[in-house]
Chains A and B, each alone.
Chain A
Amino acid sequence: MTSVSRWVLVAYCIYLLLPLYWLMTMALRSNSDITGQFEVIPSNPTLANFAEIFSNPVWYQAFGNSLNYVVLNTLISICVALPAAYVFSRYRFLGDRQLFFWLLTNRMAPPAVFLLPFFQLYSSIGLFDTPLAVALAHCLFTVPLSVWILEGFMSGVPSEVDEMAKIDGHSFIYFFFRIFIPINRGAIGVTLFFCFMFSWVELLLARTLTGSVTKPIVVVMTRTVSASGLDWGVLAAAGALTVVPGIVVVWFVRKHLVKGFALGRV
């Protein structure tokens, strides 16, 4: 750790924190206060913006809607990815490399390309404006990502574990659910982190596939205009609140985080 790197780190941390600080101060001031005068440190902090979000159903339902499809997506992705990752890590089979590559291409696909087709597809099967629609649409990216990350971790678990379970007379189901999955707790945590990292933050598809019923927070925030123009205070408060789930997720998986990045399978 040369001192140059240390200084860069310090400077970068300040660079990171400044906009976040600004977000917080905005969240604690009323809109009229913000447009009225410029202050670096708020002289009249208020929790009114947060109160607005917690009391106004448009806001808190939007948060709920977002969490809804994110959790749904994470569940589906992990459930579907676990057997696939297991199989990729333990066996070779016809077309395995090609399949793996094809999965990867989906993770890299530009969402813009899928806007229209998704809209038409989900409308036609009646899933438009349901959390399932967004959850499934995000699966396009999160499932390959999950398979990839899980496979990376699982390849590090020796196949002797499988054999021992077999010798002990356990069925495959028992082995998979009672032995193998618990061993891979860290991997599943990291996968959760990355699924969340994708699904919670995405806008384009979330906006396209939802209507008035399932409006997610990302949409509500991009449409916060009132008669007096954008309500900066409420917007900032909402923004601040969207950062919270992320922090919670990171906190829980912090021990395994570096290993996840080490596999390079972001």
Chain B
Amino acid sequence: MINKPYNNRAWLGVLPVLLIVAFSAVIPLMTVVNYSVQDILDFNSRFYVGLDWYRETLQDPRFIEAFGRQVLFSLSVLAIEIPLGILVARGLPKNGAWTSVLLILLAIPLLIPWNVVGTIWQIYARSDIGLLGVGLNELGLAFNYTSNPTHAWLTLIAMDVWHWTSLVALLAFAGLTSVPPAYYQAAELDGASKWQVFRYVEMPRLGGVLVIAVLLRLMDSFMIYTEPFVLTGGGPGNATTFLSQYLATMAVGQFDLGPAAAFSVIYFLFILLFCWIFYNSVMVEDAEEPEGQRRD
């Protein structure tokens, strides 16, 4: 690793970034915090209400429900995407003609506008015109995600798996291909079984990458908005209304600025927590990189 000299003039290089992000982040955030502690009846009458909105939000039954649904959703998709992503990565050929083709195929879902993902699954899962919807009904399953909450959940989860497993797979693939062939050779000479190779040669390399994958998916799934919005609109009823959608409805639809702002701050703090864990895991990984050149 480079030995980095100390130089405060480095701030010059960082200034443009600072300005842009401050403009995009700090000002709006300050606005939000500002709103969260005021009761805004209209532009002229505002009253400072302290932490009232926070109390109200945390006790709001709809908030708690949305939060519960969000947690269930995030955990469900994580439980599928992580193992599936690893298996897919292990199945990929390490190099060769097929590798590029398969990598591109895997990358495609990550590059589709999120509303299109919703639209694709809408077309695909509808019980009147969709391949999946019609197919399931032909098999006798009375599938209809627009009216049945369980079907709606399952479809959403299937959609998220379709959308994001590739991220885990690509991360895991990157981790696996970083294993020098000598390790596989040594394990073979040792007489290791296939399971032992996975456990002792591959898993340690995957470990770091997996932490990143889990945290990323956890955070991103916690913020999901567009895809469920397009597919189910949050329904049937409230069945698939998660946190972001609830917030968006509150803020834009109902114009309850105070509570919406408080909600936003709570939401953000939550994400911040994950972020902090993420940062520490990645930075610790990096610090371990240089092959321990310690004295004997």
Report A-B touching, CB under 8 Å: yes
A residues adjacent to B (C-beta < 8 A): 1-2, 4-10, 12-13, 15-23, 26, 34-35, 38, 40, 76, 79-81, 83-84, 86-94, 96, 99, 101, 103-106, 108-118, 120-121, 136-137, 139-140, 143-144, 147, 155, 158-159, 196-197, 200-204, 208, 217-218, 221-222, 232, 235-236, 239, 242-243, 245-247, 249-251, 254, 257-259, 261-262, 264-266
Is the CB–CB distance between B13 and A87 below 8 Å? yes
Question: What's the nearest-Cβ distance from chain B to residue A12, in Å?
Answer: 5
Q: Which of B98-130 contact A (CB under 8 A)?
A: 100, 102-116, 119-121, 123-124, 128-130
Q: In the assembly, what is the distance between CA of A173 and CA of B212, in Å?
A: 36
Q: In the assembly, what is the distance between CA of A208 and CA of B173, in Å?
A: 37
Give me 19 A-to-B residue pairs in the complex whose CB atoms sit less than 8 angstroms apart, sorted by A's number: A5-B88, A19-B132, A83-B12, A83-B17, A84-B17, A89-B2, A94-B8, A94-B11, A110-B247, A110-B271, A112-B248, A114-B28, A116-B252, A116-B261, A221-B113, A235-B119, A239-B112, A242-B116, A262-B177
Is the CB–CB distance between B88 and A8 below 8 Å? yes
Is the CB–CB distance between B7 and A110 below 8 Å? no
Task: Kindly list chain B residues whose C-beta atoms are within 8 Å of the C-beta of A83.
Answer: 12-14, 16-17
Is the CB–CB distance between B116 and A243 below 8 Å? yes
Task: Kindly list chain B residues whose C-beta atoms are within 8 Å of the C-beta of A265.
Answer: 282
Is the CB–CB distance between B21 and A144 below 8 Å? yes
CB < 8 Å neighbour of A12 from B88, B107, B274, B275:
B88
Task: Kindly list chain B residues whose C-beta atoms are within 8 Å of the C-beta of A115.
Answer: 248, 251-252
Which of the 9-residue segments B47-55, B71-79, B142-150, B219-227 touches chain A? B219-227
Task: Kindly list chain A residues whose C-beta atoms are within 8 Å of the C-beta of B14.
Answer: 83-84, 87-88, 99
* B4 and chain A: residue at smallest CB distance: A92
Task: Kindly list chain B residues whose C-beta atoms are within 8 Å of the C-beta of A87.
Answer: 10-14
Q: Say whether B268 faces chain A, with CB atoms less than 8 Å apart.
A: yes
Task: Kindly list chain B residues whose C-beta atoms are within 8 Å of the C-beta of A1.
Answer: 90-93
Task: Kindly list chain A residues whose C-beta atoms are within 8 Å of the C-beta of B9.
Answer: 93
Chain B positions 229 through 255: 1 when the CB is less than 8 Å from some CB of chain A, otherwise 0: 010000000000001100110011000
- Known A-B contacts A84-B13, A103-B17; the reply to A201 vs B112 at CB < 8 A is yes
The total number of A-B Cβ pairs within 8 Å is 304
Is the CB–CB distance between B162 and A222 below 8 Å? no
Q: Which of A91, A110, A113, A202 has its CB near the most chain B CB atoms (within 10 A)?
A: A113
Task: Kindly list chain A residues whose C-beta atoms are within 8 Å of the C-beta of B87.
Answer: 4-5, 8-9
Q: In the assembly, what is the distance between CA of A106 and CA of B27, in Å?
A: 13
Is the CB–CB distance between B104 and A261 below 8 Å? no
Is the CB–CB distance between B244 and A90 below 8 Å? no
Is the CB–CB distance between B91 and A5 below 8 Å? yes
* B92 and chain A: residue at smallest CB distance: A9
Q: In the assembly, what is the distance between CA of A109 and CA of B26, in Å?
A: 12
Is the CB–CB distance between A136 and B115 below 8 Å? no
Q: Which of A9, A139, A243 has its CB near the most chain B CB atoms (within 10 A)?
A: A9
Q: In the assembly, what is the distance between CA of A53 and CA of B204, in Å?
A: 50
Question: What's the nearest-Cβ distance from chain A to residue B132, in Å?
Answer: 8
Question: What's the nearest-Cβ distance from chain B to residue A158, in Å?
Answer: 7
CB < 8 Å neighbour of A113 from B8, B175, B268:
B268
Task: Kindly list chain A residues whose C-beta atoms are within 8 Å of the C-beta of B209.
Answer: 264
- Known A-B contacts A121-B28, A155-B1, A197-B110; the reply to A34 vs B20 at CB < 8 A is no
- Known A-B contacts A23-B120, A202-B114; the reply to A109 vs B271 at CB < 8 A is yes
Q: In the assembly, what is the distance between CA of A201 and CA of B109, in Å?
A: 10
Task: Kindly list chain B residues whose C-beta atoms are within 8 Å of the C-beta of A15.
Answer: 162
Task: Kindly list chain B residues whose C-beta atoms are within 8 Å of the C-beta of A103.
Answer: 17, 21
Q: In the assembly, what is the distance between CA of A239 and CA of B114, in Å?
A: 10
Q: In the assembly, what is the distance between CA of A10 and CA of B170, in Å?
A: 16
Is the CB–CB distance between B5 and A80 below 8 Å? no
Is the CB–CB distance between B111 and A201 below 8 Å? yes
Task: Kindly list chain B residues whose C-beta atoms are within 8 Å of the C-beta of A147.
Answer: 17
Question: What's the nearest-Cβ distance from chain A to residue B246, in Å?
Answer: 9
- Known A-B contacts A38-B129, A115-B248; the reply to A12 vs B116 at CB < 8 A is no
Other CB < 8 Å A-B pairs besides A12-B88, A108-B274, A264-B282, 9 of them?
A22-B124, A91-B7, A99-B18, A105-B271, A116-B32, A121-B27, A203-B113, A218-B116, A266-B216
